[in-house]
Amino acid sequence: MSVNREISGEIVLKVDNLCKSFGKHEILSNVSFTVKKGEVIAIIGPSGCGKSTLIRTLNLLEAPTGGHIWFHDKDLTQASRKEISKIIPKIGMVFQQFNLFNNLTVRRNITMAPVLHGIMSKEEADDWATGMLDRIGLREQADKYPSQLSGGQKQRVAIVRTMAMNPEIILFDEPTSALDPEMVYEVLSLVRELADSGMTMMLVTHEMKFARNASSRVFFVHDRNIQEDGTPEQVFDNPRNQRLREFLMRVSCK
Amino acid sequence: MTAESLAAALRRLSAVFILVFCSGCLSGCGGKDTGCDASSLETIHTCRVGVQVGTTSDTGVTELFKSKSAEGMIERFNTSPDAVTALRQNKLDLVVVDEMPAKEFVSQSPELEILDYEFARERYAGIVALQNQELLQKINDALKTAQERGIIDKLKETYIFKSGDYHYIPEQNGSETIVMATNAQFPPYEYYDGNRMRGFEIELAYAVADIMGKKLKIDDIEFDSIINAVSSGKADFSFSGFSETEERKKFINFTLPLIDSGISIVVRKDGEHGSGLSFSEKFHANFIEQERWKYLAGGLGITLIVAFFSTLIGITGGFLLAVVRVVHHRTGRLGLLNFIVRLYINIVRGTPVMIQLLIIYYVIFASVDVSKILVAVAAFGLNSMAYTAEIIRAGINAVDPGQFEAGKSLGLSDRSIYRYIIMPQALKNVLPALANEGISLLKETSISGYIGLIDLTRGGVIIRSLTYEAFMPLMAVALIYLCIIGIMSYGVSVLERRLKKNER
Ligand SMILES: Nc1ncnc2c1ncn2[C@@H]1O[C@H](COP(=O)(O)OP(=O)(O)O)[C@@H](O)[C@H]1O
Ligand SMILES: [Mg+2]
């Protein structure tokens, strides 16, 4: 049973004929879609099909080789350096390998960017971080270094770190794939909580049950494009694409 | 946990001790019968002969032995005391050296004697740069004045004939400085007595400078660098036992002769081996007598200063070079700068550090009067910079790219990411490697003597030249290096463990 979500008409992200190649190797070809405020989009597909590449081009970690990415009314592919530096903090990202800053404490991981950007003062940021860490039960770990945390704890801190920038959309790239099974749940609960609070998200995942329950929309990526785009019911219960059907068979057998 | 590394260090130390003492024993018992016949100049080419490189003895012996196709019998030493040491250890059959130093050596070592025929006779004169006719004239005038005042004869009595105790007392009230280069390893002409340079030519130089109304500054450098120093203007003149040769006249001018001298042949008396001094007597002679340990203490200070500041330059500079290379690699900017940096690194890594040191002293600072410590710090610092740059670059590249991406995704500028995230991690990664670079740099500074800096190594060399004894001063110097480096390595291993604990 998927959730009923408040999805307004406001378009946060509009992707138009996006292309991406690495050298001669074309990964994405003319991908187009829009993301509305409040949508939670799960991205599924066989590994190596370009899911990561897709969401990494959205915040310019990979430079697109063609097409346009509109964030509200700004085209990221045409914007100046200065405009980009204003927009990127509004697009959060959570990585499969957490990528917490190894040389900073948990608290500094969270407060560093908002303080540098002038979004919060040092004191405000510290208070905010303490409050958030308390909420996710990691207040005790505030002054520890990432190496002293478990994988699940690291990923939850990474999510909080992203939220500290008050983003309009968060991109997740397989946030639970690097975790031991017993830690998957704690991370997914936090993601779910975030989704329920109305955050706009795109989430690459192999957790099919979670995709089905938490998302409002599902993309199936294959052969350099989005082959199927629909509600979880449409995609999981009524797959039209032959490849999608094979893919779902394979994952359900696991 | 620190006990382990301490134990390892001790083990290493004791291994070195054993090695060192074994080699010390062996050095006393070497030698073989070569069928040497030193009865006349006609036959001495059958003997293993030692000379000081670049001296007229060297030239004369080379010429003679070449004519007999016996060049292989010649061994050239940096200083004549080194040659005498080798002679005493039976590694040579004879040493060809100027008359006065020969007498000095024999008086110090009862097992040595001078043969009753001379190798050659020659006259010593001062040298001045070819183009500096004016100074040549002034020095010659001053020499004449010194002769008239009887200074030269009285100095001869003191130093050459050992029959007087006259010493020239420098007045030194001139304001302008005049620089004399010499190689103070040549008693009784110029040598160290305590921490002061003394000798016939040294006191004569003071007299000449006073007569000219100049303040004398003496630079003690390698003998084979002196002509270079004078003709390049690093020094104004030199009194250093130079005899006139046609070859040398092409490069420099000779003053009036300072003294007449023969070249003697020194040999071991039959059946004599070693000096027979006991360990404690040797120890006393090398370190206690005339406070000779001060050469080591002072040298150690210089070595530490040079090593410390050049490491500092190396790390700061290396850091900047590494940043240029990494920025170019990641963004493609700074192309020209990156090219220059790469060229620099290749040149430094592709040439011996000793050549770099000599180039900086004799070429780059040729006409500038700078402190030698500064030159050494610059040379070793610039050298270390190239190695450090590569170490730091590797450290930066070893930082997980995910760290950079996380910073990017939070909208941080490249500069902030490097400053707050990448660099701290990179430096932490390479700290042990940097410390090791510091250790090898410390050892490399041991060539500072080549520009006349009295560092630890050179301090040992000076003692050796005073006592004609190799074992004690060399071992002392080695042990001091070993101790400092032992302490440093221990510090590094503690540091490494601390860093590991913090992360991972
Ligand atoms: N930086 C890169 N350079 C070259 N090829 C890449 C790079 N990143 C990804 N690829 C290739 O792009 C394809 C898609 O990769 P990716 O987006 O990571 O797939 P997914 O996340 O769906 O598993 C793969 O074939 C991968 O080898
Ligand atoms: Mg992926």
SS3 for A144-157 is CCHHHCCHHHHHHH
What pLDDT does residue A93 have?
A: 97
* Residue B152 CB partners (closer than 8 Å, separation 6+): B143, B146, B204, B258
Summarised one tens digit per residue, pLDDT across range B72-90 is 899 998 888 889 988 988 8
Give the N- to C-terminal CA distance of chain A in Å, as an integer: 22
How remote is the CA of residue B142 from the centroid of ligand 2, in Å? 88
Q: Give yes or no for a contact between B294 and B450, defined as CB atoms under 8 angstroms apart.
A: no
Q: Nearest-CA residue of chain B relative to A89?
A: B411
Question: A71 pairs with which residues across the strands?
Answer: A13, A74
Instruction: Categorize the per-residue pLDDT at B10 as very low, low, confident or very high, splitting at 50, 70 and 90.
Output: low
Q: Which residues in A have their CB inside 8 Å of a CB on B?
A: 59-61, 85-86, 88-89, 91-93, 95, 97, 99-104, 112-113, 116-117, 145, 147, 158, 161-162, 165
Summarised one tens digit per residue, pLDDT across range A47-83 is 999 999 999 999 999 999 999 999 999 999 999 989 9
Q: How far is A234 from chain B (nearest CA, A)?
A: 33
Q: Please list all protein residues whose beta carbon sits less than 5 angstroms from ligand 2, which is an ion.
A: A 52
Q: To the nearest whole percent, how much of chain A has pLDDT over 70?
A: 97
Amino acid at B326: V
A123 exposed, middle or buried (CB, 10 Å; 0-12, 13-18, 19+)? Answer: exposed
Lining ligand 1 with CB less than 6 A are A 22, 27, 47-53
* Residue B263 CB partners (closer than 8 Å, separation 6+): B56, B57, B60, B96, B97, B98, B99, B118, B119, B120, B121, B122
What pLDDT does residue B104 have?
A: 84
Establish whether this prediction's ipTM goes over 0.90. yes
Query: Over 90: is that where the pLDDT of A165 sits?
Result: yes
Q: d(Cα B470, Cα B79) in Å, to the nearest integer?
A: 13
Q: Give yes or no for a contact between A62 and A56, defined as CB atoms under 8 angstroms apart.
A: yes
Summarised one tens digit per residue, pLDDT across range A198-248 is 999 999 999 999 999 999 999 999 999 999 999 999 999 999 999 999 999
Instruction: Categorize the per-residue pLDDT at B28 as very low, low, confident or very high, splitting at 50, 70 and 90.
Output: very low
What pLDDT does residue B194 have?
A: 75
Q: Which fold has domain B293-502?
A: MetI-like fold (1.10.3720)
Q: d(Cα A133, Cα A156) in Å, to the nearest integer?
A: 9
Rg, Å, chain B Cα set: 27
Summarised one tens digit per residue, pLDDT across range B412-425 is 998 899 999 999 99
What pLDDT does residue B1 have?
A: 43
A11-99+169-250: CATH, from 3.30.1050.10, 3.30.390.30, 3.30.110.30, 3.40.50.300: 3.40.50.300
Question: A225 pairs with which residues across the strands?
Answer: A222
Pairing of strands A217-222, A225-230: antiparallel
Cis bond before residue A232 (omega within 30° of 0)? no
DSSP code of B186? B
Q: d(Cα A232, Cα A214) in Å, to the nearest integer?
A: 9
Q: Which residues in B have their CB inside 8 Å of a CB on A?
A: 400, 402-403, 405-413, 416, 420-421, 424-425, 428, 502-504
Q: Which of A114-118, A172-176, B276-280, B307-311 has the lowest mean pLDDT?
A: B276-280
Average pLDDT, chain A: 93
B122-262: CATH, from 3.90.550.10, 3.50.50.60, 1.10.3720.10, 3.40.190.10: 3.40.190.10
Q: Give yes or no for a contact between B119 and B60, defined as CB atoms under 8 angstroms apart.
A: yes
What pLDDT does residue B502 have?
A: 59
Q: d(Cα B134, Cα B136) in Å, to the nearest integer?
A: 5
Of residues B29 and B338, more confidence is placed in B338
What is the rounded average pLDDT of the residues B456-475? 87
Q: Nearest-CA residue of chain B relative to A85?
A: B411
If you write DSSP's letter for every residue of B7-27 in order, what string do you get?
HHHHHHHHHHHHHHHHHHHHH
What pLDDT does residue A2 have?
A: 47
Query: Over 50: is that where the pLDDT of B192 sits?
Result: yes
Q: How far is A143 from chain B (nearest CA, A)?
A: 12
Summarised one tens digit per residue, pLDDT across range A12-55 is 999 999 999 999 999 999 999 999 999 999 999 999 999 999 99
What pLDDT does residue B13 have?
A: 59
Q: How far is B26 from chain A (nearest CA, A)?
A: 55
How do the domains of chain B map onto residue ranges?
Answer: 122-262, 293-502
What is the rounded average pLDDT of the residues B18-24? 54
What pLDDT does residue B435 have?
A: 87
Amino acid at B501: K
